[in-house]
Amino acid sequence: MNFPADAYPPALYSASQHTTPDTIRVESTEDAIIVWLTGLMIGVPRTADDTRLHAALDSAWRMGQALERYGSEIRAELERRERERAAEVLAAAARATKGPTSQPLVVDDLRYCNGCGGPVGRATPVEQARAAEGLELPDARVECRNCTPQAEPAFTAHLMPVDTDVCAEHDEAIAARGDGWRHISDGQICPPVSEIADRDAEGSGVGCH
């Protein structure tokens, strides 16, 4: 339901102060119903007509939605920082080892090189699943610009979430990386079945490199 602007309760600002718990409260008196939000007062008199009361209720619902999103964004930021701290601990442990670790590290959706511990892009869903099960992962040093200076920057950058498919010639699981489709097992470039079909239709077959 749409209400006219003047039906909504006015917002009055009384001071600039910190949002401490004691500055957020609701007052319900014989004359009015008021919410205080750290210097911001929003209230409606009990003598208001139904339209104004419904408009005030609509305001309360929208404020609740906004505050819920505010809280969600803060929780997400705290979780992101926790993931970064956990990733840095694991990366530091990898860097401290002498020589490469047995396999790359996967923290959340990011992979870390088994040679130097630096980030080497997003893990595919298959890689995430294998890491969760403690299964072997392909050597990430060929994708790491610290360990392999000639590695393609687009391949080693933090990428958008990847897609997975099956390679046309070897029936291998492949993932979309920054520089093309690659085998998940060994990083070899190889286009998916769908791409082969499209290029064959144009008279130019494509194979693995």
Is 209 inside any structural domain?
A: no
Question: Once rounded to an integer, what is the mean pLDDT over residues 137-163?
Answer: 58
Between CA 159 and CA 122 the distance in angstroms is 6
Indicate the pLDDT class of residue 13, thresholds 50, 70 and 90: confident
Whether 121 and 64 share a structural domain? no
Is 29 inside any structural domain?
A: yes
Indicate the pLDDT class of residue 162, thresholds 50, 70 and 90: very low
Taken as a whole, the chain contains a residue count of 209
Q: Which residues on neighbouring strands pair with residue 181, listed in sequence order?
A: 176
Mean of pLDDT over the chain: 75
As a whole-number percent, the residues of the chain with pLDDT over 70 amount to 71
Whether 63 and 147 share a structural domain? no
Query: 142-146: which pairs have CB atoms within 8 A and are 24 or more residues apart?
Result: 142/187, 143/113, 143/187, 144/113, 144/115, 144/116, 144/118, 144/120, 145/118, 146/113, 146/115, 146/116, 146/118
If one counts the domains in the chain, the total is 2
What confidence tens digit (pLDDT) does each residue in 39-58 have? 889 999 999 999 999 999 99
65 versus 114: the higher-pLDDT residue is 65
Indicate the pLDDT class of residue 59, thresholds 50, 70 and 90: very high
Whether 54 and 137 share a structural domain? no
**Span of 107-116, 124-133, 151-160 with lowest mean pLDDT:** 151-160
Q: What angle do CA 146, 207, 170 make, to 5 degrees?
A: 85
φ/ψ region of 203 (left if φ > 0, alpha if ψ in -120 to 50, else beta) reads left
Number of neighbours of residue 160 by Cβ within 10 angstroms: 8
What's the confidence (pLDDT) of residue 137? 77
What's the confidence (pLDDT) of residue 209? 47
What's the confidence (pLDDT) of residue 153? 43
Instruction: Look up the domain containing 58 and give its range.
Output: 5-77
Between CA 46 and CA 52 the distance in angstroms is 10
Whether 71 and 111 share a structural domain? no
Is 208 inside any structural domain?
A: no
180 versus 46: the higher-pLDDT residue is 46
Whether 110 and 46 share a structural domain? no
